[in-house]
Amino acid sequence: MNKIKLLDDTLINKIAAGEVIDRPSSVVKELVENSIDAQSTKIMIYIEGGGVKKIQVRDNGIGIEKNSISMAFKRHATSKISKNNDLFNINTLGFRGEALPSIGSISRVLIESSHNKRDGYSTNINYGKIDDIQPSSISTGTNIVITDLFTNVPARMKFLKTEKTELNLIYKYLKKVFISFPGIHFILNVNNKEIYNLIPVSLINRINEIFSDIKDNLIPISYSHSSFKISGYIGNLTTLKKSNSEQFLFVNNRSIKSISLNKTIMNCFQNLISRGEYPFYSIFIDIDPKEIDINVHPQKSEIKFKNEWVLIQNLSTAVKVALKNKIHVLPRYSNKYNYDSANNFQQSRLN
Ligand code: ADP
Ligand code: MG
């Protein structure tokens, strides 16, 4: 056996990138989340070639100080937590200090930033090698351009799907973030075509822009418990889909996966829907960060609740209360349906 030795930083970052950055959509996620954490009110996203050719995220956030730009590409360098206790009181989307070094190790990066609208600076990172800092004309926020993603990791490149599939995964992520932050102005441009220009609006109007004309089929949820708040919208039976692609759960504005919470919500629809039918929902749980542990998974999509049982019971009540008025649950029928037969059909489902 060879002698044991410490791996060099570039190799360590490449290994970490395998966990955090598995495809173009993860780059988009990490960059957009950094922009949100930087208190941006406007975020522009440009994608070319399914993200492999180019991913650019430009924001109007607080920016990065000149001396911190290179630092941001070092492993475990973060401005978001500093001491042990902070790990159990996370108020930002990022905190692990892994994204930028991971992205920097598997692509070419141009970063420009202006901290507090003062002078701007830029640098390039080529497959982990950071260039010197230069003055830049950027006057607000941060602009990051990623090109040649995965070109130095052929194994990863091989696993990528078609441009269309990679793009769909990017849309899938972005839809969640668009809903989760309706107060942020998002612009999405794909292959030089503007796909979304979403000005700040209320949650229901943002949902309506993403899922065309769904507004009249949404039932609001609003429920308070001493240690959390549940809000958002559930869809009536018009919103039923054959997949769960329009079911969203957010904890402190972070999109999460939770089999148990999803099951709780679906159980409330039990007598209304058949197997294989999925109503729309976009439910937000606001909870004291001390009551949860986000650090379960490198991509931070899973969460542990200190008191999951209490949350489950209250979530169930919140959804049931919203569904109680069955009139709202009934779908609106288009003219092609005969009202009576539609009504009978619904009645049989409601009994
Ligand atoms: P994390 O988000 O976990 O802290 P990242 O590697 O994603 O780690 O980013 C490292 C640091 O770079 C962040 O903590 C932040 O200080 C800074 N940073 C990254 N992107 C931006 C941005 N768009 N605006 C301002 N600061 C940023
Ligand atoms: Mg981050």
Which residues make Cβ contacts (< 8 Å) with residue 142, sequence separation at least 6?
34, 35, 38, 58, 59, 61, 63, 64, 111, 112, 113, 114
**What is the 38 CA–ligand 1 centroid distance (Å)?**
8
Ligand 1 binding site (Cβ under 6 Å of any ligand atom): 30, 34-35, 38, 59, 61-64, 72, 77-80, 94-100, 142
HSE of 223 in the Cβ direction (CA atoms, 13 Å)?
21
Ligand 1, atom 16: nearest CA belongs to which residue?
79
Q: Which pLDDT score, from 0 to 100, does residue 332 have?
A: 56
Q: Which pLDDT score, from 0 to 100, does residue 339 have?
A: 39
Report which bound ligand comes closest to the CA of 33. Answer: 2
Report which bound ligand comes closest to the CA of 100. Answer: 1
Give the residue among 72, 24, 73 at the shortest CA–CA distance from 46: 24
**What is the 95 CA–ligand 1 centroid distance (Å)?**
9
Q: Which pLDDT score, from 0 to 100, does residue 327 have?
A: 62
Q: Which pLDDT score, from 0 to 100, does residue 91 have?
A: 87
**What is the 131 CA–ligand 1 centroid distance (Å)?**
18
Q: What is the pTM of this model?
A: 0.91
**What is the 34 CA–ligand 1 centroid distance (Å)?**
5
Q: Which pLDDT score, from 0 to 100, does residue 328 have?
A: 66
Euclidean distance between CA atoms 200 and 42, whole angstroms:
9
**What is the 41 CA–ligand 1 centroid distance (Å)?**
16
Report which bound ligand comes closest to the CA of 101. Answer: 1
Residues in the chain predicted with pLDDT less than 50, given as ranges, are 333-351
Give the residue among 53, 62, 70 at the shortest CA–CA distance from 145: 53
Ligand 1, atom 12: nearest CA belongs to which residue?
72
Cα dist from 316 to 265, 269, 310, 326, whole Å = 6, 10, 10, 16
Ligand 1, atom 18: nearest CA belongs to which residue?
34
Residues in the chain: 351
Ligand 1, atom 7: nearest CA belongs to which residue?
99
